Amino acid sequence: MNITYPQDQASLQNFIHLLTHQKHASLNIRCYSRSGKIIPLTFQAQTIQFQKQTCIAGIIISSFSRHIDPISGLRDAFYCENICNEYIDKPEIDQFLLGILDLDNFQSFNDTLGYTAGNQLLRRTTGFLQSVLPEKAKLFRLENDQFALLCTNCSASTLQGWVNVLNQLFITNEMPTISCGFVSYPKDGQEWHRLRKRAQFAMKQAKRDGKAKSRSFSLPLEIQQHQSEQLRVSLRQSIHNQMQGFYLMYQPQLTKDGRMKGMEALLRWNQEPCDTFVPILEASGLLFEITGWLFNQALRDFAVMRKEDSSLSISINLSYPQLLEEHITENIHAALCRYQVPSTALIIEITETRIAENFLIVKPILNKLRAMGIRIAMDDFGTGYASLSFLRQMPIDIIKIDRSFVINLETHPADSMFIRLITDIGKELGCAICLEGIETAGQLARLSDISIDTIQGYYFSRPLVRDAMLEYLHQQKDR
């Protein structure tokens, strides 16, 4: 056992134990050579009966050549782990960097051009990586479109500069860029699995930050990610436990003189801020599982509230992934019929950025909803990059001006000028205008000569649960 690499000794014991329960087994393992070098080996063994005793017979194969990736010609993840552990064990190496590199949008490239083209791209990428490889750095292919870099004489700034040079090469040669995450031994970890996990985390952060970037590992970000993962698990449990913890609130939408026009349904969960849990729902695909509940709950409540005023409308937010759900228009129509709510009373809100980014995909879906009599609102207008030409082409009925234009309305007169400009353009295009975020009488006064149709904000009312909303409607009738 003394020649077995320490971290593989438990695997060897499990391998021997496994052979007491089955006839054949194989194991990849690392052992020390006489010179002390770590060598990868493969054990292939079986149990046999010899002189009335159960024995283990097998062969040991050097798997050095097995750990060469056939596409890139690089050493693979197993070999990368071996080298990393050698560095850790060598007292003369007191610091090194591990970088994880991942091609951006590689899956889309594969889906579009096929796996043969994908393999050719991997070979070409390997050539570029090797052509500018830092001195004494070692390159490996881990899996799919992911590579690893081990460097004993690199600073963080050197590695970041290397990634920048690479991405310029890739852009010049019309190739996908790369995102890189890296860690430093021993600061960010003292064993392979932790180092790799944290480098992976940093790489994913680089992708979240816009891709074609490099990011070093950050403990605060890892803690934040861990908290998000815990939140995701809790959200999934709530969904599978009959939506326990989820509820809806409704924020009134009124004219400038305080007449009730409609309301927006707002998703809430266990007192968590919506900007905390909604992005996690969307990123994890859990939004798909609540779409049906959301529409049924909102329209059920609205059917009751609408008895107070049949002219009211209800706005429901749909994310871009929800809008692409199969049979989304049919399911919305079924919910409207189920609660006897006319389609003209329903407004679907979708954010400006997601409409603009996916214009050709979204447009026919929105056209189908509008053909049903449902109105479409562009939410958070002014925070994205929708052009005037885009506004003219998009099938929308309402522009909701983002609250960021309202925050400094009393102290920055220029903000009212922007609101007036957006309102005038919207009116020319035949759109109604809703302004979000009005909280004070002073802000409202700044809008006196601007043709805004509805206003939504704390000045009139905070979001209300259904029964409180019914009471609010009663008070509106008594005005």
CB-based burial label for 367 (10 Å; 0-12, 13-18, 19+): exposed
- Bridge partners for 314 per DSSP: 263, 346
Average pLDDT of every residue of the chain = 87
Best-predicted range by mean pLDDT among 5-19, 28-42, 313-327, 371-385?
Answer: 313-327
Mean pLDDT for the stretch of residues 172-193: 91
Confidence class of residue 249 from pLDDT cuts 50, 70 and 90?
A: very high
pLDDT of residue 114: 84
Residues of the chain with pLDDT > 90, as a percent, come to 44
* 311: confidence class by pLDDT, cuts 50, 70, 90: very high
Give the per-residue pLDDT at 62.
61
Summarised one tens digit per residue, pLDDT across range 183-194 is 999 999 999 999
- What pLDDT is recorded for position 477? 77
Judge whether residue 7 has pLDDT over 90.
no
Mean pLDDT in residue range 216-224: 85
Residues contacting residue 121 through CB under 8 Å, at least 6 positions apart? 103, 106, 109, 175, 176
* pTM, to two decimals: 0.66
Backbone angles phi, psi at 63, to 5 degrees: -105, 25
Query: Distances from the Cα of 184 to the Cαs of 31, 194, 440, in angstroms?
Result: 26, 11, 51
Q: What confidence tens digit (pLDDT) does each residue in 288-299 have?
A: 889 999 999 999
Residue that the structure tokens 């302004």 belong to:
435
Mean pLDDT of 234-263: 94
Q: Say what the pLDDT of residue 184 is.
A: 93
pLDDT value at residue 66: 61
pLDDT, one tens digit per residue, over 135-165 is 888 999 998 899 999 999 788 888 888 899 8
The predicted pLDDT at position 467 comes to: 95
Mean pLDDT of 219-244: 89
Write phi, then psi, for 356 (nearest 5 degrees): -65, -40
Confidence band for 38, pLDDT divided at 50, 70 and 90: low
Per-residue pLDDT, averaged over 463-475, amounts to: 94
Report the amino acid identity of residue 276: T
- Provide the pLDDT confidence category of residue 174 given band limits of 50, 70 and 90: confident
Sequence-separated (6 or more) residues with CB below 8 Å from residue 108: none
Give pLDDT, residue 328.
92
Asked if residue 124 has pLDDT above 80, the reply is yes
Classify strands 138-143 and 146-151 as parallel, antiparallel or unpaired: antiparallel
Q: What distance in Å separates the CA atoms of residue 146 and residue 126, rounded to the nearest whole number?
A: 11
Continuous H helices in 90-137: 106-113, 115-131
Q: What is the pLDDT of residues 327-369, one digit of tens each?
A: 999 999 999 999 999 999 999 999 876 666 677 888 899 999 9
Range 434-453 average pLDDT: 92
Tell me what the mean pLDDT of segment 444-463 comes to. Answer: 93
Residue 385: strand pairing partners? none
Output the pLDDT for position 453: 96
pLDDT given at position 136? 80
Long-range own/partner contacts, residues 237-240 (CB < 8 A, 24 or more apart): 238/269, 238/270, 239/286, 239/289, 239/290
Is residue 220 scored above 70 in pLDDT? yes
Query: What integer is the mean pLDDT of 39-46?
Result: 77
pLDDT higher at 51 or 119:
119
